Amino acid sequence: MAQSLSQIIIHIVFGTKMRYPLIKPEIENELYAYMGDTIKRNGGIPFLINGVEGHLHILSTLPKTITLAKFIEDIKRNSSRWIKTKGIAYQKFAWQRGYGAFSVSSSKKDVVYRYIARQKQHHKKTNFKEELLEFLQKYNVDYDERYLWD
């Protein structure tokens, strides 16, 4: 085969440092658009980015030319630099060090899309900690809880 082909869909979850509520409504759409542009520049396809003030979810393809860790690092680094230009309230903005990334089959993409689209309603009933622990159990991810909450 002369070409490299892939269709890897991922659901990425990460929060602000210490889950500080810094993704304010007045900047969230612009932030998500900026992150989507970063995903596109890396060769990915952003399907949806949404969240609440302390964390967000990304549904995207993983580009075939970059590792998952580098891909997420680039999204976080670029968006952190961008958000710091939005005023004094954001000067100390930081993302948490880690992230969650979960593979999504093509047949489940629409289910995950709807889940991400309903984040604000979802988090009226469930907090981030409960949500992340549920994902880790659902996807059988080994973890050490001492390092989940920076």
pLDDT tens for 102-145 read 999 999 999 999 999 999 999 889 888 888 888 888 888 898 88
Report if residue 133 sits inside a domain: yes
Average pLDDT over residues 29-33: 98
Whether the Cβ atoms of residue 132 and residue 100 lie closer than 8 Å to each other: yes
The pTM of this model reads 0.92
Residues 6+ apart with CB under 8 A from 89: 22, 24
Report if residue 143 sits inside a domain: yes
Within its chain, how far is the Cα of 5 from the centroid? Answer: 24
CATH of the domain at 50: 3.30.70.1290
Report if residue 36 sits inside a domain: yes
Tokens of 20: 């500080």
- pLDDT at position 57 is 97
**b/e code 4-31 from CB counts within 10 Å (16+ = b):** eeeeebbbbbbbbeebeebbeeebbeeb
Number of domains composing the chain: 1
Domain containing residue 65:
9-147
Report if residue 3 sits inside a domain: no
pLDDT in tens, 51-100: 999 999 999 999 999 999 999 999 999 999 999 999 998 998 999 999 99
91, 96, 104, 23: which is closest to 60 by C-alpha?
Answer: 104
